[in-house]
Amino acid sequence: MFLLSAAFWSIVRVFIAYCLSLLFGILYGILSATEPRRERWMIPFLDVLQSVPILGFFPIAVTILVVIFRGQRIGLELAAIFLIITSQLWNIAFGVYETIKTFPKDLLEMTRSFGMNTTFIIEHIYLPALVPTIIYNSGVSIAVGWYFLMASEIITLGNVEVRLPGLGTAMMGYVTQGNLFGTLSVIGIIVLVNFITQWFIFRPLIEWSDLFKFGAVGSAPEEPKLVTILRNGIPWHKVSGWINRMVQWGGRFQKSPVFLRILNYLISIVFASLFGYFLYWMMKPPYPHIVGEIPKSLFITSFRVIGAVFLSVVLSFPFVVKATKTASNVKNIYVFAAILGSIPAVIFYPLIVRGLGREHMELAAIILLLTGSFWYTLFNMLKGALMLPTTLVEMAHIFGIHGWVYYKTILIPAMLPSLITGAITAWGGAWNTSMVAEKVTFGQESFSIPGIGSLLLASTAHAKDLLWVVLIMTLWIVVVNTFFWKKWYRYSSEKYTFTE
């Protein structure tokens, strides 16, 4: 049946992208955590890449790949997979990096005292220790991957003739035709696939990953069948040797300073000249008239995004308060939110837009922005509430601290770092969603509202316009992230963390 083949293609894309993200993410994490000199540039670089709105770059990726592959389907497939990888990679890399950096020091000393070499340590110590973070981030990454896959299939780009077969495209077709049953079937399949993945694959895996946590107490979890298959099926010794070779390869370059310096100069010269030429090409008149519209659009969208982030925080609050009342509540809300949050909200958007009509596009846009940002604030604030020490809660109870005073002096300050992390990720999520939320095309008709997202989609026909829009938007977001959000996070994590 048509829907089954569409489902097949979408699933395959997500799976391939996930495997590649896992591979590169683990490598990047290990490489950056094991050598301070690499760490110094690799981590800030990752930080910047993480702030870049992925969907903003999708049109560029498509344009480039379509040109390379001359309009054939393989170009689009690669663009979609590339898009999904960029949404999953940073999470995994950061998780791996953090785990290795915070690795218990005495365990590392133990390994060296017994004479373990690097390959042995990678195979028997690092890879097992990475299991919890990989499994946890994989669950999140797969959900995120679906979101961006659907978004990539829903975005229409001015100059592309070919559409990829998949669930998102199928749904766009159904909505255009007014086929409600078809639309609902697609939504149903997506929800089903996500539910099965999260419930039957990741939930048991997350339970089992508790075996690898340092400082856990109590009986050990049993090994799921999937794990036994993976453990016996993959030649771990070879994998570790291969990872070790990558790590050593990076190190070897640093050993010959003359060679390194020459290489440095050459690379800098090449980059500088390429960059110079690029700037020249961009600045050369005639200026695309679209440039004049960028500041206004940027302002409008920023306004919407800030509103969405604010609303997300406020809306998450009641759930968090409810959750902190009982420990079992937190777990329930968490599972519930995980399953709901894994459904790519993007798929509802065409339905909402069609249903509400052109006059209510602004409302539809805000709703969609919320779905792209609410889960981030909810998850992070829940995590912050979970970390609240029970002794503090008990203290408040005994001294009769309730209501507004409790929230103002205890709950909110304790949650502040997580709240800000949630706000940062919600901000990123809302920007990405803006790409899809501001302009939707059904066949011949298109609905759009003013903003940088619709500006971007309108400019995809001309490369220069597109580049101007994307680069200025990216610059704006990175600047705000670095000078506003990061400062707040640093301030709050210094003032409001729990240390004995």
d(CA 399, CA 396): 5
Quote the least distance from Cβ 236 to other proteins, whole Å: 13
Q: Which amino acid is at 5?
A: S
Closest Cα partner for 83 from 161, 168, 158, 8? 168
d(CA 5, CA 164): 12
Per-residue contact track with other proteins, 122 to 141, x per CB under 8 A? --xx--x--x----------
- Binding test (CB under 8 A) with other proteins, winner from 82, 148, 212, 485: 212
Per-residue contact track with other proteins, 277 to 316, x per CB under 8 A? ----------------------------------------
d(CA 421, CA 94): 14
The answer to whether 453 and 301 are in contact (CB under 8 A) is yes
Quote the least distance from Cβ 22 to other proteins, whole Å: 20
Work out whether 211 is an interface residue with other proteins (CB under 8 A). yes
From 39-47, 206-214, 262-270, 470-478, span contacting other proteins (CB under 8 A): 206-214
Work out whether 213 is an interface residue with other proteins (CB under 8 A). yes
Q: Which amino acid is at 391?
A: T
195 torsion bin: left (phi>0), alpha (psi -120 to 50), beta (else): alpha
- Binding test (CB under 8 A) with other proteins, winner from 219, 391, 444, 499: 219
Quote the least distance from Cβ 3 to other proteins, whole Å: 42
Q: Which is nearer to other proteins, 218 or 403 (CB)?
A: 218
Work out whether 238 is an interface residue with other proteins (CB under 8 A). no
Quote the least distance from Cβ 220 to other proteins, whole Å: 4
In terms of Cβ atoms closer than 10 Å to its own Cβ (0-12, 13-18, 19+), residue 390 is exposed
How many chain residues are in contact with other proteins, going by CB under 8 A? Answer: 25
- Binding test (CB under 8 A) with other proteins, winner from 15, 45, 72, 109: 109
Q: Which amino acid is at 133?
A: T
Work out whether 116 is an interface residue with other proteins (CB under 8 A). yes
From 17-25, 102-110, 247-255, 481-489, span contacting other proteins (CB under 8 A): 102-110
Quote the least distance from Cβ 57 to other proteins, whole Å: 39
Other beta carbons within 10 Å of 450: 14
Quote the least distance from Cβ 312 to other proteins, whole Å: 37
Quote the least distance from Cβ 4 to other proteins, whole Å: 40
- Binding test (CB under 8 A) with other proteins, winner from 4, 217, 283, 398: 217
- Binding test (CB under 8 A) with other proteins, winner from 106, 359, 494, 500: 106
Q: Which is nearer to other proteins, 31 or 131 (CB)?
A: 131
The answer to whether 396 and 410 are in contact (CB under 8 A) is yes
Q: Which is nearer to other proteins, 219 or 391 (CB)?
A: 219
Quote the least distance from Cβ 241 to other proteins, whole Å: 15
Upstream peptide bond of 286 is cis (omega within 30 degrees of 0):
yes
Quote the least distance from Cβ 18 to other proteins, whole Å: 24
From 114-122, 157-165, 274-282, 450-458, span contacting other proteins (CB under 8 A): 114-122
Work out whether 37 is an interface residue with other proteins (CB under 8 A). no
Q: Which is nearer to other proteins, 117 or 329 (CB)?
A: 117
Q: Which is nearer to other proteins, 208 or 375 (CB)?
A: 208
Q: Determine the longest span between alpha carbons in the chain, in angstroms.
A: 72
Work out whether 390 is an interface residue with other proteins (CB under 8 A). no
Quote the least distance from Cβ 111 to other proteins, whole Å: 9
Other beta carbons within 10 Å of 448: 18
Quote the least distance from Cβ 213 to other proteins, whole Å: 7
- Binding test (CB under 8 A) with other proteins, winner from 218, 233, 285, 292: 218
Work out whether 107 is an interface residue with other proteins (CB under 8 A). yes
Work out whether 500 is an interface residue with other proteins (CB under 8 A). no
Residues near other proteins, by CB under 8 A = 104, 106-107, 109-110, 112-116, 120, 124-125, 128, 131, 211-220
